[in-house]
Amino acid sequence: MSVVEIEGLKKSYRVYQKNEGLLASVKGLFHRTYKEVEAVKGIDLKVEQGEFVAFLGPNGAGKTTTLKLLSGVIHPSGGTARVMGYVPWKREHAYRRRFALVMGQKNQLWWDLPAQESFRLHQQIYRIDAKDFDRTRDELTELLQVRALLGRPVRELSLGERMKMELIAALLHSPEVLFLDEPTIGLDVVAQHNIQQFLRHYQEVRQITILLTSHYMKDVAALCRRAVIIAQGQIMYDGSLAGIVDRFSGHKVVTLAFADDEAPDLSHFGTVVESHTPKIKLRVDRPKVAEMLATVLRDHVVSDVSVEDPPLEEVIADMFQSAEASLATNKS
Amino acid sequence: MTAVVADLASRCAVWWTILRICIEERLVYRGDFALGTLMRFLPIITQTFLWTAVFVGAGGPSTIGGYSRDEFIAYYLLTYVARAFSSMPGLASSIAAQVRSGEIKKYLVQPIDLLTFLFLSRMAHKLVYYAVATAPFALVFYLCRGYFEGWPDAPTLAAFVLSLLMSFLLGFFLEATLGMIGFWFLEVSSLLFVYMLFNFFFSGHMFPLTILSEPWRTIVLYQPLQYLAYFPAAVFLGKVQGPALVEGLIGQAAWTLAFVIAARTAMYYGVRRYSAFGG
Amino acid sequence: MHPNYFAVFREFARNSLVREMTFRGNFLLDCVSSLSWVFMQLGLYLVIFEHTDQLGSGTGWGRWPFFVFLATTLFVNSLVQFFFMTNMEELSDLIRTGNLDFALLKPIDTQFLLSLRKFEWSSLANVVFAAILLAVSLGHLEFRPTPLQGVLYVVFILCGVALLYSLMIALGSVSVWLGRNESLYDFWFYITNFSRYPMEIYEGPFGTPLRLAFTFAVPILLVANVPARLLAWPFESQDWRLAGYAFVASLVALVASRKLFYKALAAYRSASS
C-alpha cells in the first residue's frame, strides 16, 4: 500500500473581488461580487514509503494547497486522499502524531522564548517519552549544529538558524511523513546547503517519506529523484528529474571553441546564444546535434566541445509559460 | 494673484486626492464599520438603566448635579455626538509608531506636511464615520426623543455646533501633540494610557462633571478635556448660558489654539531633532 | 494515547510567565493599566453612592453589597482575561497570518490549544484587587456569609467564567468563518458590558425583555449576578432556581460553543501565503 494515495483531489475557494475607485468601494458596502477560484483541479498521485518527492510549479499553482490538504488543515471540495491510511481532514490524533509540516514562511516557535521551551511544549503535546525526547533533540541539534543556540530567544536568531529550529521542532516526534513547504525560502546559499545536507542525511537514515515544494531547483536536484510538476492546479508531469529535460526540452546546448581565432557562421544549425570569438554557444535541436558536430569537426579545427542539456530552471520556466499560454487559449 | 490661485488650486487637488484615497481605504472595512457603529450605542442602554436606578434609589430627587434623570440620558446621548467629533482613536499612537519605525521619513521626503496629511486623513475617517453613523444616531435619538425637551433655541444650537467643531480641532491637535512626544521618547504607550484614563474621566464621558463634589467640581471645570464631551453636551441642554456660555466658548477656542501651536512647535523641533540624530 | 493535558497546561503557564518576565517593564505597566481601569470604575460608583444609598428601590444593592457585586464582576472578568483573553485576541492574527495551520496539525484538542496557549499574568493584579475589595466590602455587610456560601460562590464564579468563555469561543468561531475579527472584539466588550450591572436595574417595558433575553437567550446576566447574590445577601433570600439554571446554562453553553467552534474549524480555509 502506498503511503500517500490521492484521487481526484479538488479544492476551490470563493474570493471577494474588490473593485477600484471610490464609487466601487461604496458599492462594496452593500453588494459584493465573488469569484470561484480552483486552486487544485483533480489531482491523482501515489507516493511510496521512503520516497523524496518534489512538487514544482509557479506561484499559485496549487502546491501549497495540496500540502495543506494532505496535512488536514483544509478540507477538499472533492476527491479523496489517504496518508498512511488516514483521511487527513478528519484530523485524528493518531494521524497528527505521525506526520509533520514545515512551512518556510511561517513559524510556530514562541517568538520571545528560547527554542528549547517550544521543544518542551512539543514534548508534552506529542507525549514524547523523556529519554527519547532528549536523545532526538540532542541528535538533531548536533546534526544541524545549533546546540549553542538552544537557550537564545527565537527572535534573536537569524533566518537560517530559525529554520533549523523549526525543522527540529517538526522532527522531535519522529514523523514518518514530512511535508516541507519552501523550507529554504529566503535563506543564503550556505544555510540552504546546510539544510539540504541535513534533509538528505535524515531521509536516508530514517527512510521516511518526504514531500517538498521549493522554488530552488538546487534543493530539488540535490534531494529528490522524483518530481511532480503542478501548474494551474493540475499535474503536468510526474517522473524523474532527468526525464523532465528529455520530455520537455527539444534541444541541447552546444559550446564550441575554435583554434586559430576562427568564427564560422553556424546559425543554420541552430540559435546562437553567445558568440565570443573563438567561442560559440548555440542551441541545437536534438536530432540535429550529431550531424552538426560531424560537419563542424570535419570543416574546422576545434579545440574544445561540450554538449549539455539546457538548465533545468529554463526548461521548467519554458514549460510553465507554454502551459499557461495553452490554458489561456483553451479558456477563451 | 493668478499664481496664488493656481497654487491654492493645486493644493486643493492634492488634498482632495488624499481625502478620497483615505475614504476608499476606510470603506473597505464595511463589516467592521456597520457593526462598530451600532455597538457603540450599547453602553447607552446600560447607562440609562443605571441612572434610572440611581434616581429611584435616591428617592426620586428632581436633579442630581443639576441634571434630572431625563437630562442625564440626554446628556449621555449628546456626549456620544461630542465624542464622535472629538475622539481620535489611534492618532497619537500611530504618530509615535511611525516615528519609531522610521516610516515618518516618508513625510519628510514627500512635499506634504505631516500634520496636514494626518488632519485630512482624520477628516476622511470622520466623514465616512458620519456617513455611516448618521442613520443609527438619528434612529437612537428618535427613539430617545422623550428624554429631550425639544430643540434648543437657535443661538444655543449655533453655540453647540461651534463647540462641536472646535472639539474636533481640539481633540485632533491635543492627540497630535501627544503623538509628537514620540520624537523624544520611544515608549509613549504608558503616557497615552494615562491620557486615555484622564480623558475618560475628566471629559465628562462617564457623568456630567457637575455631579462631582467640591473642590473637584471647580477643578475639573478648568481643564481642557471637558471640551471634548461635557461642554458641548451641557451647552445643548442649556446648562451653560449667557456670559458663562461666551466664556466657555472663548475658553475652548483658547485651548484649541494653544494645542495648534503646541502641535506645530512639537513637530518643528521634533523633526529637527529627528533629522539631526537620524532614525 | 491522549496528550497529558495537565503537563501541557503547566508548560503554557510556565512559558507565558517566562515571557512576561523578559519584558518586566511592560508587565508592570500592564498591571498598572488594568488596575487603573478598575479604579475608574470604582471612582464612578463612589460618585454615584455620594448621591444615593442604593440602586433602585428595595433591590438590596446598597453600597457594600454592590461593592461585593463589583468585586465579583472583577473576579470573573479578570479570570477570563488571565486564561483566555490574549488567546482569543491572537486568534484573529493566527487566522490572518495562516498560523492557525500549526494548531490544526497538533495531536491535541484544538480548542484547548487555542484557548490556553498564553496566560495574561498581569491580570492577576486585578484578581488581587478584587480580593481586597471583596474582603473590605464583606466586612461592612450586616451579616456574615456562611462557609457554604463561600464554597458556592467559588462554584458560581467558575460558572460565570465558563459562560463568558463560551461566548468568546462562539465569537471566535464567527471570526474563523469571516476570516477576521477586529469588531468582534468590540462586540465582546459591549455585550459583556450588560453583565456588569445587577439584573434588577433592567426594569420596565424595555428593561424586562432585555433582562429576560440576557438571562435566557444569551445568559450573560448570570455571570456576576448569581455568585454576587449568593454572597452579598443572607442565605435564606436566595433564588435557587436562578442558581440551578445558571449551572445548567454554563454547561450547555460550553458544549454548544465547542460544537460551533469545531464546525467553524471544519470550514476554515487557510490563508494561502
Task: List pLDDT tens digits, range A262-283.
Answer: 777 888 888 888 888 788 888 8
Give the A:B interface size as CB pairs under 8 Å.
17
Number of neighbours of residue B138 by Cβ within 10 angstroms: 10
Q: Does A26 touch chain B (CB under 8 A)?
A: yes
Asked whether the beta carbons of residue A106 and residue C7 sit closer than 8 angstroms, the reply is no
Identify the pLDDT of residue A327. Answer: 65
Asked whether the beta carbons of residue B42 and residue C193 sit closer than 8 angstroms, the reply is yes
Percent of chain B with pLDDT over 70: 91
Whether the pLDDT of residue A332 is over 50: the answer is no
- Provide the mean pLDDT of chain A: 86
A123: nearest Cα among A107, A140, A145: A140
pLDDT digits (tens, 9 = 90+) for B78-107: 998 998 899 888 888 888 888 877 777 777
Identify the pLDDT of residue A244. Answer: 82
Phi, psi of C221 (to 5 degrees): -70, -20
Identify the pLDDT of residue B29. Answer: 55
Asked whether the beta carbons of residue B27 and residue A26 sit closer than 8 angstroms, the reply is yes
**Do B148 and B85 contact (CB within 8 A), yes or no?**
no
Q: Is B102 left (phi over 0), alpha (psi -120 to 50) or beta?
A: left
Q: Does A23 touch chain B (CB under 8 A)?
A: no
pLDDT digits (tens, 9 = 90+) for A155-165: 889 999 999 99
More confident residue, C135 or C22: C135
Closest-CA residue in chain B for C203? B49
B227: nearest Cα among B207, B243, B246, B203: B203
Closest Cα of chain A to B55: distance in Å?
A: 43
Closest Cα of chain A to B12: distance in Å?
A: 18
Nearest to A108 among C102, C107, C268 (CB): C102
Residues in contact with A280: Cβ distance below 8 Å, sequence separation at least 6, in sequence order: A255, A256, A257, A258, A263, A266, A272, A274
3-class SS at A48?
A: coil
Q: Does C58 touch chain B (CB under 8 A)?
A: no
Range of the domain at B269: 2-277
Distances (CA, A) of A181 to A72, A261, C76: 15, 50, 43
Percent of chain A with pLDDT over 90: 38
Contacts of B205 in chain C (CB under 8 A): none
Identify the pLDDT of residue B279. Answer: 46
C-alpha to C-alpha distance for A39 and A6, rounded to whole angstroms: 16
Identify the pLDDT of residue C272. Answer: 46
Residue with grid cell 488632519, as numbered in its chain: B119
Whether the pLDDT of residue C53 is over 80: the answer is yes
C-alpha to C-alpha distance for B169 and B259, rounded to whole angstroms: 9
Write a three-state SS string for C183-197. Answer: HHHHHHHHHHHHHHC
Contacts of C98 in chain A (CB under 8 A): 106
pLDDT digits (tens, 9 = 90+) for A71-82: 988 889 899 999
Residue with grid cell 481640539, as numbered in its chain: B170
C85: nearest Cα among C37, C34, C120, C110: C120
Q: What is B94-109 written as a DSSP string?
A: HHHHHHHHTTTHHHHH
Asked whether the beta carbons of residue C201 and residue B190 sit closer than 8 angstroms, the reply is no
Nearest to B57 among C37, C44, C55 (CB): C55
Alpha helices in B58-143 (DSSP H): 69-86, 91-101, 105-109, 114-143
The ipTM value here is 0.86
Select from A29, A30, A32, A33 the residue whose CB has the most chain B CBs within 10 Å, as the one to mutate to test that interface. Answer: A29
Asked whether the beta carbons of residue A22 and residue B24 sit closer than 8 angstroms, the reply is yes
pLDDT digits (tens, 9 = 90+) for C8-47: 999 999 999 988 888 787 788 888 888 888 888 898 899 8
pLDDT digits (tens, 9 = 90+) for A292-316: 888 888 888 888 888 888 887 788 8
**Do A56 and A316 contact (CB within 8 A), yes or no?**
yes
Residues in contact with A216: Cβ distance below 8 Å, sequence separation at least 6, in sequence order: A184, A192
Whether the pLDDT of residue C72 is over 90: the answer is yes
Residue with grid cell 494645542, as numbered in its chain: B259
Provide the residue type at C239 as one letter. Answer: D
C-alpha to C-alpha distance for B203 and B206, rounded to whole angstroms: 8
Highest mean pLDDT among A59-63, A166-170, B266-270: A166-170
Identify the pLDDT of residue C273. Answer: 39
More confident residue, B29 or A55: A55
Lookup: cell for A150: 538552544
pLDDT digits (tens, 9 = 90+) for A43-85: 999 999 999 999 988 877 888 889 999 998 888 989 999 999 9
Whether the pLDDT of residue B120 is over 80: the answer is yes
- Provide the mean pLDDT of chain B: 83
Lookup: cell for B146: 422623550
Of the candidate ranges A262-266, C63-67, C162-166, C261-265, the one whose mean pLDDT is the lowest = A262-266
pLDDT digits (tens, 9 = 90+) for A195-252: 999 999 999 999 999 999 987 887 888 889 899 988 888 898 899 888 887 777 788 8
C-alpha to C-alpha distance for C147 and C128, rounded to whole angstroms: 21
Identify the pLDDT of residue A32. Answer: 63
Asked whether the beta carbons of residue B24 and residue A18 sit closer than 8 angstroms, the reply is no
DSSP for residue B153: P
Percent of chain C with pLDDT over 70: 95
Q: Could you tell me the domains of chain A?
A: 4-246 (3.40.50.300), 250-308 (3.30.70)
Of the candidate ranges B118-122, C150-154, C237-241, the one whose mean pLDDT is the lowest = C237-241
Closest Cα of chain B to A24: distance in Å?
A: 9
Select from C105, C177, C269 the residue whose CB has the most chain A CBs within 10 Å, as the one to mutate to test that interface. Answer: C105
Whether the pLDDT of residue A25 is over 60: the answer is no
> Among residues 12-41 of chain B, which lie with CB inside 8 Å of chain A?
20, 23-24, 27-28, 30, 33
C-alpha to C-alpha distance for B224 and A58, rounded to whole angstroms: 60
Give the number of domains in chain B: 1
Q: What is the mean pLDDT of residues C54-79?
A: 90
Using N-to-C axis directions, what is the helix angle for A159-171 and A130-144, rounded to 10°? 150
What's the pTM value of the predicted model, to 2 decimals? 0.80
pLDDT digits (tens, 9 = 90+) for B155-188: 999 999 999 999 999 999 999 999 888 888 777 7
Closest-CA residue in chain C for A65? C272
Closest Cα of chain B to C190: distance in Å?
A: 6
Closest Cα of chain B to C25: distance in Å?
A: 11
Asked whether the beta carbons of residue C19 and residue A112 sit closer than 8 angstroms, the reply is yes
Cβ-count burial A62-99 (b if 16+ within 10 Å, e if not): bbbbbbbbbbbbbbbbebebbbbebebbebebebbbbb
Contacts of B191 in chain C (CB under 8 A): none
Closest-CA residue in chain A for B21? A22
Q: What is chain C written as a DSSP string?
A: ----HHHHHHHHHHHHHHHHHHTHHHHHHHHHHHHHHHHHHHHHHHHHHHH-SBSSSSS--BHHHHHHHHHHHHHHHHHHIIIIIHHHHHHHHHHHHTTHHHHHHSSS-HHHHHHHS---GGGHHHHHHHHHHHHHHHHHSSSPPPHHHHHHHHHHHHHHHHHHHHHHHHHHHHHHHHT--HHHHHHHHHHHHGGGS-GGG--HHHHHHHHHIIIIIS-TTHHHHHHHHHHHS-GGG--HHHHHHHHHHHHHHHHHHHHHHHHHHHH------
Whether the pLDDT of residue A105 is over 60: the answer is yes
Closest-CA residue in chain B for A18? B28
Contacts of B20 in chain A (CB under 8 A): 22
Closest-CA residue in chain C for B41? C190
